[in-house]
Amino acid sequence: MDVVSPELNILLPDEIMDTEAIVMDDDPPAESPAASGQSQPSDDAPIPMETDVIAVPEIVSLCSDAPPTQALTTSITTDSTLCSTTSSTQLLLTPSIASSSPLTLRPATASILTSTTPKTTTSPANHQIILNNMASSPAADTTRSPGTTTITPGGQKFMVTAIGKSGQSIVLQLPHTGSKPGSGQGEAKAHPQHFKVLTIGGMTDLKPVMVGPAVSSASQVSTLQAQQLKTVQIAKKTQVSSAGPIKFIITKAVNNKGLTAQTSVSNVITGRVLSTSSPVTPPRTITLSETLSSSSKIAISPLKSPSKMTVVSVASQVPNSPQKSVSLPLNMAHLGQQILVQQSTATSPAKVVSSHSTPMKPVQTVTVGGPQFKTIFPLSTSSSVQQIQVPGSRFHYVRLVTATTGSSTGQAGSHCTNSSILLGPNRPMVVNTAQVRMSVPIIPAQTMKQVVPKPLTSSGQVLTTQTQQRLIMPATPLPQIQPNLTNLPPGTVLAPGSGNMGYAVLPAHYVTQLQQSAYVTLASSSGFSTPTGIQTQARLPLNGLSTADAASRPRKPCNCNKSQCLKLYCDCFANGEFCQSCNCTNCFNNLEHETERAKAIKACLDRNPEAFKPKIGKGKEGESDRRHSKGCNCKRSGCLKNYCECYEAKIMCSSTCKCVGCKNFEESPERKTLMHLADAAEVRVQQQTAAKTKLSSQISDLFTRTTPAITSGGGRMPFTFVTKEVAEATCECLLEQAEQAELIQQPQATAERMILEEFGRCLMRIISSAGKTDCPSINC
């Protein structure tokens, strides 16, 4: 496996390019025979998914032992050099302010680690990233949990330097070989290890200082050098690449004194640096508001590609804040992005602690790109799916995380999905490690659509909405019914399944159907740290449609009777949608029948692997290139009726069509006539619409102009400009006219006519004055 894509390599500094030491995939570096001799990641519970990533356990331990005033700022450009492993690297960020509180970045192992104990993660796996904020005291090393500094046999270690506030060199907690009694397994002794020092923050002036647990830094450095220590200066990149794995520039600023930490996550989509490092694009900062009593649990792990690192800064909720969100301006155009976030509110530290022993079924809320975009992280013990919505992103991501309580494939002591690390008396840090199933960018969404948050069951199952939104694919981890994900309907997303479901596939227009119920609340039940549970909001992108477009997009309800809406006869099913507000009978195109639905999808894909792909291919330039993928087979309609799929799609038949008597070609007079009529009809409709719109606008404008008068103290009547004064003046004029008629002894009829004429003149003056002034005057 290529650790670093060629496109990416050209963009990387030379020191970063030296990635052999951190290559953890099945292609181990030559200089690390010990690592090669270790168990391969692929041996660990291979996940039967296309996007399976061999989860190589990497442990990044960040021990923020710095003084309270010390700020730890780390900027990590997570390109392929940092996580250049085929395995998914899961980083568990545990910001801690208390001394000797380890911040553990832990990669996802192939097996799900549900263990809540902070340290049992002695994975034979090969890669550890140990991020140690400078331990102010050696006690920190000694107090560090074994799991955080576990040196796996033959495993490679990443030495990540943290930049101290005072500009001091980054002290990397270099795990002394064999220093970890719990994790030891004698790995370092027998095998030469590779240490790669990652200077975080891109500060070139900083020199990483390797500090061993029991040795001086200098000697440790020498030791490291002897062990083929490699220092990687990860500099912020302003250069962008057109292609390549996602890069995240992570800037983590921890102000222990201020009890706040900020993490700026910059991502590079297809090698494009979007944020912090880019001078053009302002970095999006994830504010980590952390109180002393609060704790944050972050599990971050790039999925498929080790070179892809997703860093999520978790903002510890201020007390009494039931919900935590992580702003993640990620534009995940690549697979393998994994974000695991577990948070605990500050108000419930006890629950956090209890979460160590109890299976956590939290629903994680990750705000991506803004507060309105959130990701549902139903982290059940059985399975979890993490949906990542990225505003502006054309992709919709759902990471599947399977959490198994028993990790048969896990490493020693890895029978847990959650590794909790107490960062302090009141600061338990729960490190969640889970097996990453897959992460698929599915929807080329241009905009997001809100999904009404729906309460989760205790097991994290998504409750059906009032609109009966369901999963298109059962999460049943049955390989035989797993569809070819590449052939799923566009916009299909993976969603958490219920029970032991591993994943589920959502229809492409799942969001569209949910537009009326804009939020889905996923409320975790027990085991979650928040007293009220964490509600999760998910915004699912539309299938390339904006919210307005989707809202306006008519969705015809189906009328299926016999197909159970599980065959392509059903347009809803064919389009990857759930039936909603349909007239169908015996509908199985819903969540209640996700198993049947999955089988149906499987059957359809078996018959036609491209069954769910759009039939009308998009033309590169204009609509002329649009053509039906299979062509029509019309015989009687002349391809000029909507029976014809080509005509329905407003495209002309092509050579792929097998139609008889086709009249749907360029020069067809019938077609031209129809098109002309259609255009004329459309023009009429547009004109009518425009006229209505204009009228409405005028009426609205009239309201707008007259509304102030209504509310004014002048008593002006709406729409008439007849104020009280005008009315009185008019009456006076009429009375005066009547008096004159009486004076000249005119007959009654004449008098009435005179009065009416005067009234007419008054009206004319009123109208005339209304167009000139807001306060017309009446002069008799």
The answer to whether 563 contacts DNA (rule: CB under 7 A) is yes
Q: Provide, rounded to whole angstroms, the least separation between the CB of residue 662 and DNA.
A: 9
By C-beta, is 240 or 639 nearer to DNA?
639
Separation of alpha carbons 31 and 225, rounded Å: 13
Q: Provide, rounded to whole angstroms, the least separation between the CB of residue 566 and DNA.
A: 8
By C-beta, is 636 or 692 nearer to DNA?
636
Site for DNA in 649-668 (CB under 7 A): 659
x/- map, 577-596, DNA, by CB under 7 A: -------x------------
The answer to whether 643 contacts DNA (rule: CB under 7 A) is yes
Q: At a CB cut-off of 8 Å and minimum separation 6, what does 105 contact?
A: 58, 59, 60, 61, 62, 90, 91, 92, 93, 129, 131, 300
Q: Tell me 462's DSSP state.
A: B
Query: Tokens 């009809």 belong to which residue?
Result: 681
By C-beta, is 204 or 656 nearer to DNA?
656
- The count of residues interacting with DNA (CB under 7 A) is 37
**Looking at 357, 608, 688, 698, which residue binds DNA (CB under 7 A)?**
608
Separation of alpha carbons 673 and 678, rounded Å: 8
By C-beta, is 558 or 755 nearer to DNA?
558
What six digits make up the tokens of 175?
A: 């795990």
**Looking at 189, 562, 650, 684, which residue binds DNA (CB under 7 A)?**
562
**Looking at 571, 596, 725, 774, which residue binds DNA (CB under 7 A)?**
571
The answer to whether 641 contacts DNA (rule: CB under 7 A) is yes
By C-beta, is 112 or 570 nearer to DNA?
570
By C-beta, is 207 or 555 nearer to DNA?
555
Q: Give the chain's count of helices (H) and strands (E).
A: 15, 29
Which one of 53-61, 279-287, 346-354, 604-612 is the stretch in contact with DNA (CB under 7 A)? 604-612
Which one of 44-52, 226-234, 561-569, 619-627 is the stretch in contact with DNA (CB under 7 A)? 561-569
The answer to whether 219 contacts DNA (rule: CB under 7 A) is no
By C-beta, is 411 or 563 nearer to DNA?
563
**Looking at 215, 568, 738, 770, which residue binds DNA (CB under 7 A)?**
568
DSSP string, 248-261: EEEEEEEETTTTEE
x/- map, 231-270, DNA, by CB under 7 A: ----------------------------------------
Residue of 63, 17, 88, 64 whose CA lies nearest to 435 = 88
Which one of 21-29, 96-104, 155-163, 640-648 is the stretch in contact with DNA (CB under 7 A)? 640-648
The answer to whether 224 contacts DNA (rule: CB under 7 A) is no
Which one of 19-27, 469-477, 558-566, 663-671 is the stretch in contact with DNA (CB under 7 A)? 558-566
Which one of 209-217, 399-407, 533-541, 557-565 is the stretch in contact with DNA (CB under 7 A)? 557-565
493 φ, ψ to 5°? -125, 160
**Looking at 634, 651, 652, 726, which residue binds DNA (CB under 7 A)?**
634
Separation of alpha carbons 679 and 324, rounded Å: 52
The answer to whether 615 contacts DNA (rule: CB under 7 A) is yes
**Looking at 125, 197, 488, 611, which residue binds DNA (CB under 7 A)?**
611
Q: Where are the beta strands (DSSP E) in 433-507?
A: 435-441, 448-451, 493-495, 504-506
The answer to whether 629 contacts DNA (rule: CB under 7 A) is no
The answer to whether 604 contacts DNA (rule: CB under 7 A) is yes
Q: Provide, rounded to whole angstroms, the least separation between the CB of residue 28 and DNA.
A: 45
Q: Provide, rounded to whole angstroms, the least separation between the CB of residue 578 and DNA.
A: 14
Coil, helix or strand at residue 340 = strand
Site for DNA in 497-556 (CB under 7 A): 556
By C-beta, is 160 or 472 nearer to DNA?
472
**Looking at 648, 649, 720, 725, which residue binds DNA (CB under 7 A)?**
648
What pairing do the DSSP bridges indicate for beta strands 127-131 and 156-161?
Answer: parallel
With 0-12 / 13-18 / 19 or more C-beta atoms within 10 angstroms meaning exposed / middle / buried, residue 558 is buried
**Looking at 458, 561, 688, 693, which residue binds DNA (CB under 7 A)?**
561
From residue 37, alpha-carbon distances to 24, 54, 83, 130, 399 in Å are 12, 17, 20, 21, 31
**Looking at 559, 688, 698, 773, which residue binds DNA (CB under 7 A)?**
559
What six digits make up the tokens of 231?
A: 């220092």
Query: Within 249-375, where are the H helices?
Result: 349-357
Our measurement of the distance from residue 212's CA atom to the centroid of its chain's CA atoms, rounded to an integer in Å, reads 39
Q: Tell me 503's DSSP state.
A: -
Q: Provide, rounded to whole angstroms, the least separation between the CB of residue 631 and DNA.
A: 7
Q: Provide, rounded to whole angstroms, the least separation between the CB of residue 174 and DNA.
A: 60
CB 4 within 8 A of CB 17: yes
Q: Tell me 671's DSSP state.
A: H
DSSP string, 688-744: HHHHHHHHHHHHHHHHHHHHHHHHSTT-PPTTT---HHHHHHHHHHHHHHHHHHHHT
Which one of 59-67, 383-391, 398-406, 559-567 is the stretch in contact with DNA (CB under 7 A)? 559-567
By C-beta, is 1 or 616 nearer to DNA?
616
The answer to whether 632 contacts DNA (rule: CB under 7 A) is yes
Separation of alpha carbons 66 and 258, rounded Å: 13
The answer to whether 705 contacts DNA (rule: CB under 7 A) is no
By C-beta, is 581 or 696 nearer to DNA?
581
The end-to-end CA distance of the chain, in Å, is 97
The answer to whether 645 contacts DNA (rule: CB under 7 A) is yes
By C-beta, is 105 or 473 nearer to DNA?
473
Separation of alpha carbons 489 and 444, rounded Å: 11
Q: Provide, rounded to whole angstroms, the least separation between the CB of residue 477 and DNA.
A: 24
The answer to whether 644 contacts DNA (rule: CB under 7 A) is yes
By C-beta, is 654 or 740 nearer to DNA?
654
For 546-549, which contacts have Cβ atoms below 8 Å and span 24 or more sequence positions? 546/446, 546/447, 547/447, 547/448, 547/449, 547/515
Q: Provide, rounded to whole angstroms, the least separation between the CB of residue 338 and DNA.
A: 34
Q: Provide, rounded to whole angstroms, the least separation between the CB of residue 584 and DNA.
A: 7
Separation of alpha carbons 58 and 310, rounded Å: 14
Half-sphere exposure in the Cβ direction for 431 (13 Å, CA) = 40
CB 616 within 8 A of CB 575: no
CB 196 within 8 A of CB 29: no
Separation of alpha carbons 157 and 174, rounded Å: 9
Site for DNA in 143-182 (CB under 7 A): none
Greatest distance between any 2 Cα atoms in the chain: 131
Q: Provide, rounded to whole angstroms, the least separation between the CB of residue 492 and DNA.
A: 16
Which one of 37-45, 75-83, 510-518, 637-645 is the stretch in contact with DNA (CB under 7 A)? 637-645
Separation of alpha carbons 160 and 58, rounded Å: 13
Report which secondary-structure segment, H or E, holds 681: helix 669-711
Q: Provide, rounded to whole angstroms, the least separation between the CB of residue 674 and DNA.
A: 10
**Looking at 142, 633, 707, 712, which residue binds DNA (CB under 7 A)?**
633
Which one of 9-17, 327-335, 630-638, 721-729 is the stretch in contact with DNA (CB under 7 A)? 630-638
Q: At a CB cut-off of 8 Å and minimum separation 6, what does 146 contact?
A: 119, 122, 180, 181, 182, 183
Residue of 211, 221, 143, 210 whose CA lies nearest to 182 = 143
Chain positions contacting DNA, by CB under 7 A: 556, 558-563, 565, 567-571, 574, 584, 603-604, 607-608, 611, 615, 630, 632-639, 641-645, 648, 659
